[in-house]
Amino acid sequence: MKGKGIGENNLINVIKDSKRISIFNLENPTIFEDYYLFTHSGVSKRSLSLNSENRAKLAVDTRVRWSKQQTAKKRVKRDLRLQDSDPKWPSMWYLNRGNGLDMNVIPAWLEGITGKGAVVTILDDGLEKDHPDLVQNYDPLASYDVNSHDSDPSPRYDMIDSNRHGTRCAGEVAATSNNSVCALGVAHGAQVGGVRMLDGDVTDAVEARSLSLNPQHIDIYSASWGPDDDGKTVDGPGELATRAFIEGVTKGRNGKGSIFVWASGNGGRDHDNCNCDGYTNSIYSLSISSATEHGHVPWYSEACSSTLASTYSSGAVGERQVVTTDLRYSCTSSHTGTSASAPLAAGICALALEANPNLTWRDMQHIVVRTARPENLIAPDWQTNGVGRNVSHSFGYGLMDAYAMVQLSRNWITVPEQHKCEITAPHVQRPIPAKSVVVLQLQVKECEGVEVLEHVQAKLTIYSQRRGDLNIQLTSPMGTRVTLLAHRAHDTSRVGFSHWPFMSVHSWGETPFGTWQLEIHNDGRLLGRATLQNWSLVLYGTKQFLPPLSNNNIETNKVNKTKTNNIFKKKNSKKQKNKNLQKVTTTKPPKSQYKLKLKNTTPKISVPNVTNSKNRKIAKTTTEFSPYFYAINTSKYKNSEDSVKQYLKFVKNITITYPVMIPSREMSKPRESFKKSQKQKEKSRDINSNRNAKVFTSKTTELTTYQTTTSSPRGRLANVTAWDLTLYGTATPPAADLKQETVHQPSIVDIYPEEIDDNSIQDASANSLKFGAEVKKDTSGCLKTNGQLCLGCPENLFLHKGRCIKSCPDGFYHLTLRRERPSEAEDLSPENNTNRCLPCHYTCKKCTGPVDYQCSECFPDAQLVLVSSTETFCYSASVASSIVADKWYIRVFVMLLIVSVLLVLHLLWQIFKSRKRPRGGYLRFNLINNSDEKDVKMAVYSDSE
């Protein structure tokens, strides 16, 4: 209520004197000057009537300028809730935890991306196709029974449900959502099939037939099996299966290539290494490892350099496991191992394929590398490779991020043609004595077609008295050091390796030119000699980097305009240098997909239909909503105009109910650098008068800038003739940032900013996608650097992760590569003749060498156990006590055995002596006394005489 400047008390008195309204005032009725809030004593708080009589009395009073009855309004909190009737949805922690602690699938679902149009098949022991949570998404064209040679992939039932594996994996991918049954799949809109091939004799032909099933229809093959994970097997695909891989990536999906997702293996307890598994070690497969609920390395996980990324799975006792479908139409919350990780990765790849069905098999690997998140994953071997990405043998490049992959896939440009070159090393017949290391260097000066690395293979032929004693490491020219083969305690084979291709993805994006260094450690005992017969380096990659703007302009989740414009200017300034970046020599897309358009044309609202051979639309906007989250009261849209009308009615027609709360995500990390902005301005322009202006597309404005002319519901044309853009900012950066500005020379990070993604262990922001990040230089005290990292250090310092430090941290030990004998030093260049910090065995906190019996200090949950004067192990506290007890029992037993043996020997000796001594013999003296003479006579009697 507003009075005419008469004040609160006077207004109250006027109203009371007029006897028109019975009111009482609140403790603080003043809202603004001359605006007051009063409560009517005769009106109930939840009155349903309008009280028009009282309002009329105030309206005719000339002393009251304005009055209005206050009504209660509905206001809701804008946190996100999702409706799902699946009973196990709250238990699916790896999908709904938020805060960067899940695989970030929910933002993709909210944009309508559920895997529609993608086809995934599970190569396993069968699929329960009529399971109520799978029957809706079951695809018979993606299914076959190789064991029984029929089209029904149903598993063979037994008393212990031994053939449940395939059904469990399929539920992780495409279990139906919101059907009140069990759980939901990562790609619950995708089609899923099953191949029954493990419930019988698995031959090379069986594998080849399974891997090549209907490759023009199936997009993704998910496999959670491989050779025995016993820590002593070295095996891989045969000739037919290898041919199936090659045929799949070259001809599958109409030339785009089949996508093979593989579990890295469960042999961690037996110290197995997945580089001895030819399936995960293949360049054609996307190798996936596991992370526990708390971000640790699982006890079953195998560490190797071929692992590309990870997803969540089971862990130690007390950590939750994976929820999925099970045999006999049931549900389980105890799916475990890397078997559970690979299907989750396959489902995430299906989401990316819905966003862009034109992705090739190599595109998918590039996208995984760029979007994987290493934060919140704990491993002792994280390192930064030559292009600034963090990578680990246990987790690859980090945890797969579904939403980031979808965002990056939308406008992804097909990567250039893959090239291969093989360099044969001159080192042959090199002996490797026991307890020694051989260091070999290979100089790469040219590699036709390969200037940017993807996969790196070291093909070795080694004869060894005990294969498990070998430890092989490879260092790239940019300083990235990988373990190709770790010590395998159970591998006692004398076969060695014959042209075995040890593969690494840790040098992804690096240059191949320079000195590659191969180190072979022989930890054998006594006569455990080994011989390197020959080796070669096989490099896979492309001739050029991808165009910087083409793939980053779609990363609009956390992108700011200033950075985008700066990158565009850098690209123009280096146009001559990077002119060859536009040349794509294989699966070449139309130029309109990757060439930047500088000329503005009048945009239209109709979304362009980009299709592939299967006529599947690339998801450009969110106008097609997922039925999982939304219920729109219309049928499918017939044309773009109906689509626009329906979108405008969206607010009225949508029905959303969200009983499950999604935890709020962390705010994105504030920008670390501020750019100067212009003074605050407001500009209004005629859209049609600015045709020649430069246009920088943005997904956030994609929906509203397609068209400026459309028909209104009444048939008349509605034209948008002008619009305002208001910019707020400051003329200079904040004072605190001025102190942090540094000047540095342009590096690979500045020239190719797309090569540096959101890949930081320290950055815990879940969904941020950044590029052009500045790499911190720390090259003080270096003898030689590559501009960002140290490559050589003085004698009193140690090289560790590109820095020179005084002492190695926990988990690393000192190693000096200097050799006194010329024969051992002939392969070392001066810059590599330096002290280094090398990783200990993962069980050791401190150590004197790389193997598990060289521990000098253990983690708090382990105990140092001395086996011999030269062998000390770290065992968990629960195991160590039993080991000590067993050792005590063994010692007591040995001592008793020795005493018993001595007693037996003593008894035998006594028996032997008794048989040699005269029996019953004696000396008898006869003394003959005579008065005149004394005669002494002696007689000897013996029983033997």
Concatenate the DSSP letters of all residues of 592-613 into one string.
Answer: GGTSPP-S-----SSPP----T
Nearest CA among 681, 675, 677, 695 for reference residue 727: 681
Query: Could you confirm whether 177 is annotated as catalytic?
Result: no
Q: Of 125, 131, 143, 165, which is the active-site residue?
A: 165
How many helices (H) and strands (E) would you count in the chain? 18, 42
Cβ contact 620:607 at 8 Å: yes
Neighbours of 906 (CB within 10 A): 10
Three-state secondary-structure class, residue 731: coil
- Reported in sequence order, the residue ranges of 219-337 that DSSP labels E, i.e. its strands, are 220-223, 259-263, 285-291, 309-312, 322-326, 330-335
Burial status of residue 430 (CB atoms within 10 A of its CB: 0-12, 13-18, 19 or more): middle
Nearest CA among 200, 198, 197, 222 for reference residue 210: 197
Burial status of residue 180 (CB atoms within 10 A of its CB: 0-12, 13-18, 19 or more): exposed
Cβ contact 143:151 at 8 Å: yes
Q: How far apart are the first and last CA of the chain?
A: 148
Cβ contact 837:800 at 8 Å: yes
Q: Which residue has the tokens 């054998």?
A: 524
Q: Of 124, 125, 491, 757, which is the active-site residue?
A: 124
Burial status of residue 822 (CB atoms within 10 A of its CB: 0-12, 13-18, 19 or more): exposed
Amino acid identity for residue 322 in this structure: V
Nearest CA among 174, 252, 221 for reference residue 342: 221
Task: Copy the structure tokens of residue 490.
Answer: 């159970």
> Nearest 10 degrees: CA dihedral of 812, 818, 822, 824?
10
Query: Could you confirm whether 34 is annotated as catalytic?
Result: no
Give, as one character, the DSSP assignment of residue 89. G
Query: Could you confirm whether 744 is annotated as catalytic?
Result: no
Q: Of 339, 392, 394, 504, which is the active-site residue?
A: 339
Instruction: Mention every residue, 6+ apart, whose C-beta is less than 8 A from residue 897.
Output: none
CA distances from 136 to 108, 145, 188, 190 (A): 21, 20, 10, 10
* CA gap 93, 663 in Å, rounded: 11
Instruction: Mention every residue, 6+ apart, whose C-beta is less than 8 A from residue 129.
Output: 135, 138, 140, 143, 152, 153, 154, 194
CA distances from 545 to 283, 748, 752 (A): 19, 11, 8
- What residues act catalytically? 124, 165, 339
